[in-house]
């Protein structure tokens, strides 16, 4: 594959005020198969010339022809493919994958040509053998010495089988023994028919090249002239430039993620915390919603209370009212209580009587929601001559224990006490009074203060019953009844849930924004840290979209991992809280999938800024020593 390079009046100017002329009207032709040494003082333009030859930088003037084709005709998107087809690079700063095994650094150029995994590995191991460090193939790059790293870089150039190898001060940081080893490797590449262009300060190393070019102040000041190739041109590199197989890209991403376990763990943790909070708050919201429903049902959300002055012919008797209320749809229990003024109550002839309110009750005691201490089995209704006494009054009367069935007298009429009222949430005043039946011997109708209907309903029926009950009690004047009904549990529940959900949404959004910010900052830091690696990948044939895809896939892997861990942590939090609160845990499996998707989204969004910065990195700047 012929790859003659020709520069015609090529210039390179940096800056505008002031301008720096790095190259000034360069005329140069290098034939396929030459071994060329470019010499000169620092700042003379050697590295700039090499960068332009390797398509890592673009001239600001003149023409560059590669294999007879004008480089100016090659689009920016096509340049990485042309680099992949034409060039291999060895840099003074090595530029290997510091966190990954040496063999993977050697394989890198072949990754962007779609070469199969096994072929890449075999060729990389063979190249490492050629440079004498095959025993270090699986040693992580950061653990290699400078000389070993440079041999890895040379092995990468060997494995690429590119027709032109460009080496920029490849021995500048090496001792004499490693310098000799690297030069022997370059000579070995040259003997395969490849073109080798070496930038060096050393006269001794330059003397080993077939052609020597001197550069000073951006101009070629000496050239020993073209030399003849020592071997036929090498065949075209295997594979296809720009072809990256998905499974290879995913494997590369996975290796990147797992090789930086500290940074990866921190990012995964940031995503996991946000997802765990979202999962926990959502799951607890569902569980709390069920608990709210149970609480509403267990409390007074099913109670209806109606009060009026007295029983009349229009209302009928207490017994008839109970029957009419019980017949309404949704009513589970009904009772009517008449409140009378205070009467004398005594429990023993030797103790003075007390004044206490008396209430006559008709219907099921369940409607009053009383907590009663019964001597035996609970009673649903009271019989003739029976009474309940409130706990406060019983203590004042010093009633004996219930199994003895104590008897009290109300205005001289005896009543058997069949229970003590311990709690009365609907009518607390009952704790200090006597409750008996309307059919008892005592008649209090002439001294009635008010009448109350107590109704309990099925869940959700309270509002309907509260509208129908006044008509059932007094169809002629229902408006004279004072009706007290519970707040609509559905609307109250919706209000509570809305407030809770709003708070949870705010917390979740804040946590996710925090995660996105963490991933964004970490990705930007990672791009700065990996600037040399990104420049190397671009030099070896990675297109902008390949770099974008790599960083996005890395962020996605981190996001998905964080999402999965977050789901587990969130589930653990839900179980811990619900068990502690004796709630029934409720979790929608779809929420887990949504959480993992949200984790991936956090990773992708967080990676955008870093990816945008990465694709703008110029290879020539990123690969400069010190980057």
pLDDT interval class at 252 (50, 70, 90):
very high
| Residue 449 neighbours by CB under 8 Å, 6+ apart | 339, 340, 341
Task: Provide the pLDDT for residue 488.
Answer: 55
Give the model confidence (pLDDT) of 412-454 as tens digits.
889 999 999 999 988 888 999 999 987 665 565 557 888 999 9
Give the model confidence (pLDDT) of 122-166 as tens digits.
999 999 998 999 999 999 999 999 889 999 999 999 999 999 999
Distance CA 59, CA 44 (A): 16
Classify 526 as helix, strand or coil: helix
More confident position, 231 or 602:
602
| Residue 530 neighbours by CB under 8 Å, 6+ apart | none
**Could you give phi then psi for residue 482, rounded to 5 degrees?**
-90, 120
Classify 398 as helix, strand or coil: coil
pLDDT interval class at 98 (50, 70, 90):
very high
Structure-token pair, residue 254: 């996975």
pLDDT at residue 491 greater than cutoff 70 = no
Distance CA 334, CA 499 (A): 35
Task: Provide the pLDDT for residue 233.
Answer: 82
| Residue 142 neighbours by CB under 8 Å, 6+ apart | 98, 99
Task: Provide the pLDDT for residue 314.
Answer: 84
Distance CA 66, CA 25 (A): 18
Mean pLDDT of the chain: 87
pLDDT at residue 83 greater than cutoff 80 = yes
Give the model confidence (pLDDT) of 191-212 as tens digits.
989 999 999 988 999 999 999 9
pLDDT-above-90 percentage for the chain: 51
pLDDT at residue 501 greater than cutoff 60 = yes
Distance CA 89, CA 189 (A): 12
Classify 375 as helix, strand or coil: coil
Task: Provide the pLDDT for residue 449.
Answer: 86
The runs of H, that is alpha helices, within 171-260 are 176-191, 203-206, 246-259
| Strand order from edge to edge, sheet including 164-168 | 87-91, 164-168, 195-199, 35-39, 211-216, 219-223
Structure-token pair, residue 307: 């009060």
More confident position, 172 or 307:
307
Residue in 123, 177, 190 with CA at minimum distance from that of residue 150: 177
pLDDT interval class at 459 (50, 70, 90):
confident
Structure-token pair, residue 136: 């270090």
Distance CA 190, CA 165 (A): 9
More confident position, 392 or 284:
392
What is the torsion angle, in degrees rounded to the nearest 10, for the CA atoms of residue 227, residue 232, residue 234 and residue 235?
Answer: 140
| Residue 246 neighbours by CB under 8 Å, 6+ apart | none
Task: Provide the pLDDT for residue 582.
Answer: 73
pLDDT-above-70 percentage for the chain: 92
- For range 217-236, the mean pLDDT: 88
| Integer angstrom CA distances of residue 186 from 5, 158, 234 | 19, 9, 15
Which range is least confidently modeled, 32-46, 58-72, 274-288? 274-288
Contact between 620 and 168 under an 8 Å Cβ cutoff? The reply is: no
Task: Provide the pLDDT for residue 289.
Answer: 60
* Residue 371: strand pairing partners: 423
Task: Provide the pLDDT for residue 520.
Answer: 85
Name the strand (E) or helix (H) holding 267: helix 261-298
Contact between 29 and 226 under an 8 Å Cβ cutoff? The reply is: yes
Question: For helices 489-529 and 531-539, what crossing angle results, to 10°?
Answer: 70
What is the torsion angle, in degrees rounded to the nearest 10, for the CA atoms of residue 572, residue 577, residue 579 and residue 585?
Answer: -70
pLDDT at residue 493 greater than cutoff 60 = no
Structure-token pair, residue 74: 């090659």
Contact between 139 and 102 under an 8 Å Cβ cutoff? The reply is: yes
Give the model confidence (pLDDT) of 320-373 as tens digits.
999 999 999 999 999 999 988 888 999 888 888 999 999 999 999 999 989 999
pLDDT at residue 577 greater than cutoff 90 = no
């Amino acid at each position: 594959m012929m790859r003659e390079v020709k520069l015609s009046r090529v210039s390179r100017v940096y800056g505008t005020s002031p301008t720096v002329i790095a190259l000034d009207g360069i005329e140069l032709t290098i034939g396929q198969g030459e071994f060329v040494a470019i010499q000169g003082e620092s700042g003379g333009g050697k590295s700039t010339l090499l960068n332009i030859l390797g398509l890592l930088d673009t001239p600001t003037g003149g023409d560059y022809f590669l294999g007879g084709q004008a480089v100016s005709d090659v689009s920016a998107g096509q340049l990485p493919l042309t680099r992949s087809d034409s060039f291999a690079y060895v840099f003074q700063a090595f530029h290997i994958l510091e966190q990954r095994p040496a063999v993977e650094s050697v394989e890198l150029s072949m990754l962007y040509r779609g070469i199969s995994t096994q072929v890449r590995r075999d060729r990389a191991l063979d190249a490492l053998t050629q440079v004498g460090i095959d025993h270090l193939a699986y040693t992580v790059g950061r653990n290699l010495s400078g000389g070993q790293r440079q041999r890895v870089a040379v092995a990468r150039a060997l494995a690429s089988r590119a027709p032109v190898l460009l080496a920029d001060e490849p021995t500048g940081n090496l001792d004499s023994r490693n310098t000799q080893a690297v030069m022997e490797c370059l000579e070995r590449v040259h003997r395969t028919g490849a073109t080798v262009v070496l930038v060096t300060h050393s006269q001794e190393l330059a003397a080993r090249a077939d052609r020597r070019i001197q550069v000073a102040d951006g101009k070629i000041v000496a050239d020993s002239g073209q030399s003849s190739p020592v071997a036929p041109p090498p065949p075209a590199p295997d594979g296809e430039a720009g072809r990256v197989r998905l499974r290879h890209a995913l494997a590369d991403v996975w290796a990147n993620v797992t090789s930086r376990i500290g940074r990866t763990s921190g990012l995964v943790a940031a995503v996991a915390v946000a997802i765990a909070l979202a999962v926990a708050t959502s799951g607890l919201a569902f569980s709390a919603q069920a608990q709210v429903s149970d609480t509403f049902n267990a409390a007074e959300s099913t109670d209806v209370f109606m009060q009026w002055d007295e029983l009349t012919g229009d209302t009928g008797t207490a017994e008839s009212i109970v029957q009419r209320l019980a017949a309404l749809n949704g009513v589970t229990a009904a009772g009517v209580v008449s409140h009378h003024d205070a009467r004398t109550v005594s429990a023993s002839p030797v103790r003075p009587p007390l004044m206490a309110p008396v209430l006559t009750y008709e219907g099921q005691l369940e409607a009053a929601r009383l907590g009663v201490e019964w001597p035996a089995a609970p009673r649903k209704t009271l019989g003739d001559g029976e009474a309940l006494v409130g706990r406060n009054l019983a203590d004042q009367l010093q009633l004996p224990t219930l199994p003895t069935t104590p008897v009290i007298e109300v205005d001289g009429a005896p009543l058997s006490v069949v229970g003590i009222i311990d709690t009365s949430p609907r009518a607390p005043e009952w704790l200090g009074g006597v409750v008996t039946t309307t059919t008892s011997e005592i008649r209090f109708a002439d001294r009635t203060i008010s009448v109350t209907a107590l109704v309990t309903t099925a869940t959700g029926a309270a509002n309907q019953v509260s509208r129908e009950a006044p008509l059932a009690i007094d169809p002629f004047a229902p408006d004279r009844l004072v009706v007290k009904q519970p707040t609509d549990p559905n609307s109250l529940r919706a209000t509570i849930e809305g407030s809770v959900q709003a708070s949870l949404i705010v917390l979740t959004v804040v946590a996710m924004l925090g995660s996105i910010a963490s991933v964004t900052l970490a990705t930007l830091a990672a791009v700065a840290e990996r600037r040399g690696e990104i420049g190397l990948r671009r030099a070896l044939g990675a297109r902008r979209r390949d770099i974008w895809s790599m960083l996005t896939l890395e962020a996605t892997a981190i996001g998905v991992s964080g999402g999965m861990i977050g789901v587990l942590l969130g589930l653990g939090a839900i179980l811990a809280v619900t068990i502690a609160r004796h709630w029934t845990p409720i979790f929608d499996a779809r929420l887990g999938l949504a959480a993992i998707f949200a984790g991936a989204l956090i990773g992708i969004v967080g990676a955008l800024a870093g990816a945008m910065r990465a694709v703008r990195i110029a290879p020539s700047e990123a690969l400069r020593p010190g980057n």
